[in-house]
């Protein structure tokens, strides 16, 4: 078994890259892909220590992008995490995130909440910060009793402290992944609440931009949903991939490798990704 969708403290996971690799070894996973939001630093750190563990580490990333007004996530696998092609794109995304974090935190401070950007940055050094970290802060200060409540009452779209981000166009996210030597895959296709027609439109458009696969297995998907996605993948000639979207204690119901308990991603899915990369290079 493998897990091709894992977050670390480089973004909004709560385990360090090394902790995640160690846990994967303990679980007997053959391979994991480190796919932090909008940063390759988690993947780079995992590559540096992975020789100590009996787990294959795939350097990955999960880039937020936009398709027809909806935020979508594109996974990149087998990237060079130090790629010079990736850096300016990610710098742009992170800069936009930081501007937004500054404004959200400013609004909270203005309303008397005990929060500061400096405090957040010191609490999470080297991390690409986002709403989950702000939610964690609000919980620790006792303003809410769970991360979910922080979203429901403060940070979710439509709530007082929500601000939109500026997203990369889909094709630019894919291009950045390809320029970093990686293979692009559409993440969790059912999370966007698209109709069947729009989902196919999204996947066809993504494929035209260079995406070669889609997540058909995901923590939150039933066997029926996975089968539905597998049929679409076959119709559109996209390869199948899968992963848990493990975030450590920030998403406590999702376990590394097995998701909510029954997910099992076959080792062969990574072979498909590797074959696609060789295909690019020919």
Cα gap 214→205, rounded to integer Å:
13
Q: Which helix or strand (DSSP H or E) is residue 63 part of?
A: strand 56-67
Taking the complex as a whole, the smallest distance from the CB of residue 154 to Zn ion amounts, in Å, to 22
Taking the complex as a whole, the smallest distance from the CB of residue 128 to Fe ion amounts, in Å, to 10
Within 10 angstroms of residue 147's Cβ, the number of other Cβ atoms is 22
Q: Which helix or strand (DSSP H or E) is residue 204 part of?
A: helix 196-209
Specify the DSSP class assigned to residue 170: H
The residue count for binding ligand AMP (CB under 6 A) is 6
213 binds, among ligand AMP, Fe ion, Zn ion, none (CB under 5 to 8 A by kind): none
Taking the complex as a whole, the smallest distance from the CB of residue 12 to ligand AMP amounts, in Å, to 6
SS3 81: coil
Cα→Cα distances 267→159, 179, 271, Å: 42, 26, 7
Enumerate residues 29-68 that contact Zn ion by CB under 5 A: 62
Which residues are CB-neighbours of 118 under 8 A, at least 6 positions away? Answer: none
Cα gap 23→9, rounded to integer Å:
14
Show the site string, 109-138: x = touches Zn ion by CB under 5 A, - = not. ------------------------------
Site for Fe ion contains 12 (CB under 5 A): yes
Q: Check: CB of residue 73 under 8 Å from CB of residue 190.
A: no
Taking the complex as a whole, the smallest distance from the CB of residue 203 to ligand AMP amounts, in Å, to 20
Which of 13-21, 90-98, 244-252, 263-271 is the region at the interface with Zn ion (rule: CB under 5 A)? 244-252
Closest among 34, 88, 96 to 64, alpha carbons compared:
96
Which residue's Cβ lies closest to Zn ion? Answer: 245
136 binds, among Fe ion, ligand AMP, Zn ion, none (CB under 5 to 8 A by kind): none
Identify the residue among 78, 245, 251, 276 touching Zn ion (CB under 5 A): 245
Nearer to Fe ion (CB atom), residue 60 or residue 81: 60
Enumerate residues 55-84 that contact Fe ion by CB under 5 A: 73
Q: Check: CB of residue 214 under 8 Å from CB of residue 246.
A: no
Show the site string, 187-206: x = touches Fe ion by CB under 5 A, - = not. x-------------------
Enumerate residues 110-139 that contact ligand AMP by CB under 6 A: 130-132
Backbone angles phi, psi at 62, to 5 degrees: -130, 105
The residue count for binding Zn ion (CB under 5 A) is 2
Nearer to ligand AMP (CB atom), residue 50 or residue 93: 93
Crossing angle of the two packed helices 170-179 and 86-110, in degrees rounded to 10: 130
178 binds, among ligand AMP, Zn ion, Fe ion, none (CB under 5 to 8 A by kind): none
Give residues in contact with ligand AMP (CB under 6 A).
130-132, 148, 151, 156
């Amino acid at each position: 078994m493998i897990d091709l969708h894992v977050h670390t403290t480089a973004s909004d996971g709560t385990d360090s890259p090394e902790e995640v690799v160690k846990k994967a070894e303990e679980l007997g996973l053959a391979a994991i892909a480190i796919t932090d939001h909008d940063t390759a630093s988690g993947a780079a750190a995992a590559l540096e220590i992975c020789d100590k563990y009996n787990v294959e580490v795939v350097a990955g990333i999960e880039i937020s992008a936009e398709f027809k007004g909806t935020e979508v996530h594109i996974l990149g696998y087998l990237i060079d995490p130090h790629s010079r092609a990736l850096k300016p794109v990610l710098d742009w995304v992170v800069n936009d995130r930081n501007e937004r974090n500054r404004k959200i935190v400013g609004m909270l401070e203005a309303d008397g909440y005990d929060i500061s950007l400096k405090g957040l940055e010191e609490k999470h050094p080297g991390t690409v910060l986002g709403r989950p970290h702000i939610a964690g802060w609000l919980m620790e200060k006792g303003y809410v009793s769970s991360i979910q409540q922080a979203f429901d009452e403060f940070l979710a779209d439509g709530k007082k402290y929500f601000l939109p981000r500026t997203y990369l166009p889909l094709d630019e996210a894919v291009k950045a992944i390809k320029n970093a030597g990686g293979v692009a895959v559409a993440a969790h296709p059912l999370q966007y609440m698209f109709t069947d027609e729009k989902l196919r439109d999204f996947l066809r458009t993504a494929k035209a931009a260079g995406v070669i696969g889609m997540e058909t297995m995901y923590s939150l998907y039933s066997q029926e949903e996975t089968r539905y996605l597998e049929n679409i993948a076959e119709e559109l000639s996209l390869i199948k991939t899968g992963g848990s979207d493990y975030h450590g204690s920030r998403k406590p119901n999702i376990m590394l490798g097995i998701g909510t308990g029954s997910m099992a991603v076959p080792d062969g899915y990574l072979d498909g990704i590797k074959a696609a990369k060789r295909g690019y290079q020919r």
